[in-house]
Amino acid sequence: MKVLLLNGPNLNLLGTRQPEIYGTITLLEITNAVSAKLSASGRTLESFQSNSEGALIDKIQESVDKISGLIINPAGLSHTSVSLRDALSCLSCPKVEVHISNIYAREDFRHHSYISPVVNCVISGAGVFGYQLAADYLISC
């Protein structure tokens, strides 16, 4: 059983900029921790980050019928992308949307996510621990 972890634009900068909002842990460290948790329950992890909306959509399309769960932090695309939402709608497996920060405690434009209605679970404001919570949710499914 394979889980896909997708991270959207600018999340490659985790741990290097704006630590007051996004913390000091890098995307590689997050990925390794999620991978370890999933492998303890017999699952494998594929991780993909892109600053390109199209590349993220391509990866989702390639993953249809090949994954048992998805964790996605769509980053800024959460608030703008109908196309990313449409792609996610084609995945029938359990899907979790993660936001490191509490998007409801930030600017108004972050309060709406196009993605939330097409996922099973939304985690926002738990810091990078949200990715671990997402993995636990998928393990419980």
Binding residues for ligand CA2, rule: CB under 6 A, are 10-11, 13-14, 17-18, 22, 73, 75-76, 78, 99-101, 103, 110
Distance between CA 120 and CA 9 in Å, rounded?
22
Is 99 one of the catalytic residues?
A: yes
Give 17 or 82: the residue with its C-beta nearer to ligand CA2. 17
Torsion of the alpha carbons at 53, 39, 138 and 99, rounded to the nearest 10: -40
Distance between CA 107 and CA 78 in Å, rounded?
14
Give 64 or 105: the residue with its C-beta nearer to ligand CA2. 105
Closest distance of CB 131 from ligand CA2, Å: 10
Closest distance of CB 57 from ligand CA2, Å: 17
Closest distance of CB 77 from ligand CA2, Å: 8
Give 80 or 120: the residue with its C-beta nearer to ligand CA2. 80
What is the amino acid identity at position 66? K
DSSP 72-117: EE-GGGGGT-HHHHHHHTT--S-EEEEESS-GGGS-GGGS--SSGG
Is 79 one of the catalytic residues?
A: no
> Which residues are marked as active site?
22, 99
